[in-house]
């Protein structure tokens, strides 16, 4: 049967597939990775599939409609995010008018947390594929293609029944053997233009893959493990991971780096080390970046560096022990200091992540975090106000405490698509949190010592300079625009 997997139109350059979807200041555009995994699974089961990503090119609804009419799908998977949810529903409605016989199923974290909202009375959506949906999409396609079947036997979906209303079938079990999944890079090669995607801290052009799913960490705001793929850690075998690296190296020669976008690539240190040893043994020369926790130690970093790890993305989040404990991070500021010191010794760069507005946060703790960040040897850093997403512990905490400004999801980003936190607390308004993050970026990036370090990096590592220049053209424009804003007052 014919299936379209759609990353639908919203705002230009809206990075829908990120953990916190928005239009980014750095110009980052994520690959539609989860849709692509489902596309690969559907193709392996014999279905004719098209992957349409409207984000990079700013494709319009009219253009998507023309492509859909030409292909005439039996099933369409439509990704939905919190900020774009109302527009995504309208998009399905418009497509349903010209494709009345097509089954429309929404996917993604937002509808996994709130399937009833997607299927409310009058909604054009026929079904929701909850949580990780690789196998669910396959089962749904098979049910749609077989007149003798109905949706009641498809695990992992919610749907509307004429007699019973909204029905929630049992969950699809999580995929235990991730080696059964297709290489997402093969799907990218077939369906997408690699050069349309860009991650500010990764060398361009690049590809993004997952080598594991599930994260045992309990961070209160992290949406993926809470509503999408769970806290149970599952990983691909080292052989399977290195096979995909070989595929990328041989079949996508333009790629200069691979992003291992797992929540935490290094949870199982023995597995990480085995994967790195196999990369070395099989002659992988592609640089790569991965996401780690700040309790990672030097001996593992050494072998990662030898295997090609160029940069680690680490969630420092706060420089205050009590705030890290309140957000259930499971690490301390001392872990972060030691981690950064050892990463520098190992020769691996760090992209540091910081979140403002956590439980227990005050203006004083925010200043401590900024001072902490500026004292770490980071290549780049990001400062975000805490974003609240349905299904997360932080979202429920905010609602219970009366801190949630609104449940109008269109407010989740600014009119330009930038992050716009919905949390308002005594002494920490949402305006103050956004302004703090703006100021933190300026203070971090406009330090003479940081600029001098970048000049030295440009002279000694031309490829790093090219990456910095590409992202900096857009990013530094935002820095100076932010500097022109008013400073938050005590009344904010």
**How much is the average pLDDT of 456-478?**
61
Query: Are β-strands 165-168 and 14-15 bridged in parallel, bridged antiparallel, or unpaired?
Result: unpaired
Residue spans of the domains in the chain: they are: 2-168, 199-483
- Tell me the C-alpha distance between 333 and 222, whole Å: 19
Query: Running DSSP on this structure, what letter comes out for residue 203?
Result: -
Task: Flag whether pLDDT at 474 surpasses 60.
Answer: no
Q: What average pLDDT does the structure give for the chain? A: 93
What is the structure's pLDDT at 482?
A: 57
Range of lowest pLDDT (17-21, 63-67, 453-457) = 453-457
Residue 22: pLDDT over 90: yes
Question: Rounded to whole angstroms, how far apart are CA atoms 68 and 139?
Answer: 22
pLDDT band at residue 232 using 50, 70 and 90 as cut-offs: very high
**Helices vs strands, H then E, count in the chain:** 18, 17
pLDDT of residue 87: 97
Of the two residues 252 and 26, the one the predictor is more confident about is: 252
> What strand order describes the sheet that includes 380-385?
206-209, 257-260, 288-292, 309-317, 349-356, 380-385
Distance CA 418, CA 383 (A): 13
Q: What is the model's pLDDT at position 27?
A: 87
Q: What is the pLDDT of residues 271-323, one digit of tens each?
A: 999 999 999 999 999 999 999 999 999 999 999 999 999 999 999 999 999 99
Tell me: the pLDDT tens digits for 197-219? Answer: 999 899 999 999 999 999 999 99
CATH architecture of 199-483: Alpha-Beta Horseshoe (3.80)
Q: Assess whether pLDDT exceeds 90 at residue 468.
A: no
Instruction: Work out the pLDDT band at 26, boundaries 50, 70, 90.
Output: confident
∠ at Cα 481 (353, 381), nearest 5°? 15
pLDDT given for residue 451 in this prediction: 87
Asked whether residue 111 carries a pLDDT value surpassing 60, the answer given is: yes
More confident residue, 237 or 420: 237
- pLDDT in the model for residue 322: 98
If one counts every other C-beta atom within 10 angstroms of the C-beta of residue 332, the result is: 17
CB 378, CB 450: distance < 8 Å: no
Flag whether pLDDT at 478 surpasses 60. Answer: no
DSSP 225: I
DSSP 182: P
pLDDT band at 489 (very low <50, low <70, confident <90, very high): very low
Query: How big is the chain, counted in residues?
Result: 492
Q: Which fold has domain 2-168?
A: Rossmann fold (3.40.50)
Rounded to 10 degrees, the C-alpha dihedral 341/346/348/354 comes to -20
Indicate if the pLDDT at residue 481 is higher than 70.
no
Instruction: Judge whether residue 470 has pLDDT over 60.
Output: no
The whole-number average pLDDT for the span 124-132 is 98
pLDDT score recorded for residue 231 = 97
Give dist(CA 124, CA 229) in Å, integer: 26
When mean pLDDT is compared across 72-76, 162-166, 259-263, the lowest value belongs to 162-166
Q: Which residue has the tokens 């995909």?
A: 244
């Amino acid at each position: 049967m014919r299936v379209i997997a759609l990353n639908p139109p919203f705002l230009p350059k809206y990075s829908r597939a990120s953990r916190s979807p928005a239009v980014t200041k750095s110009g980052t555009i994520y690959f539609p990775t989860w849709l692509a995994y489902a596309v690969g699974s559907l193709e392996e089961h014999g279905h004719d599939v098209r992957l349409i990503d409207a984000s990079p090119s700013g494709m319009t609804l009219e253009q998507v409609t023309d492509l859909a009419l030409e292909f005439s799908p039996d099933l369409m998977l439509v990704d939905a995010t919190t900020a774009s949810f109302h527009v995504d529903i309208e998009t399905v409605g418009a497509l349903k008018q010209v494709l009345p016989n097509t089954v429309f199923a929404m996917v993604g974290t937002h509808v996994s947390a709130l399937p009833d909202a997607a299927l409310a009375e009058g909604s054009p959506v026929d079904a929701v594929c909850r949580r990780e949906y690789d196998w669910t999409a396959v089962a749904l396609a098979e049910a749609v293609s077989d007149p003798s079947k109905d949706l009641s036997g498809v695990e992992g979906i919610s749907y509307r029944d004429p007699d019973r209303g909204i029905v929630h079938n049992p969950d699809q079990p999580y995929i235990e053997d991730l080696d059964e999944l297709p290489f997402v890079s093969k799907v990218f090669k077939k369906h997408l233009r690699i050069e349309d995607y860009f991650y500010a801290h990764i060398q361009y052009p690049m590809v993004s893959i997952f080598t594991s799913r599930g994260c045992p960490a309990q961070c209160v705001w992290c949406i993926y493990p809470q509503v999408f793929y769970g806290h149970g850690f599952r990983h691909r075998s080292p052989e399977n991971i290195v096979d995909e690296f070989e595929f990328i190296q041989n079949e996508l020669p333009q790629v200069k780096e691979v992003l291992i976008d797992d929540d935490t690539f290094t949870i199982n240190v023995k597995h990480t080390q085995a994967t790195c040893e196999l990369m070395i043994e099989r002659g992988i020369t592609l640089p790569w970046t991965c996401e780690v926790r700040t309790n990672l130690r030097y001996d593992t970093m050494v072998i990662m560096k030898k295997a090609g790890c160029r940069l680690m993305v680490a969630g420092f989040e706060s420089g205050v022990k009590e705030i890290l404990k309140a957000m259930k991070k499971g690490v301390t500021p001392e872990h972060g200091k030691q981690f950064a010191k050892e990463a520098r010794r190992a020769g691996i760069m760090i992209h540091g992540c910081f979140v403002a507005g956590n439980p227990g946060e005050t203006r004083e703790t925010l200043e401590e975090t900024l001072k902490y960040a500026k004292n770490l040897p980071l290549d780049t850093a990001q400062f975000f106000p805490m974003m609240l997403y349905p299904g997360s512990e932080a979202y429920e905490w905010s609602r219970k405490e009366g801190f949630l400004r609104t449940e109008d999801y269109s407010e989740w980003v600014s009119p330009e698509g930038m992050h716009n936190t919905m949390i308002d607390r005594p002494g920490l308004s949402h305006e103050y949190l956004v302004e703090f993050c703006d100021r933190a970026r300026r203070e971090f990036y406009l330090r003479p010592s940081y600029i001098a370090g970048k000049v030295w990096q440009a002279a000694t590592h031309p490829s790093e300079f090219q990456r910095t220049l590409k992202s900096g053209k857009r990013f530094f424009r935002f820095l100076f625009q932010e500097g022109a804003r008013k400073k938050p007052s005590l009344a904010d």
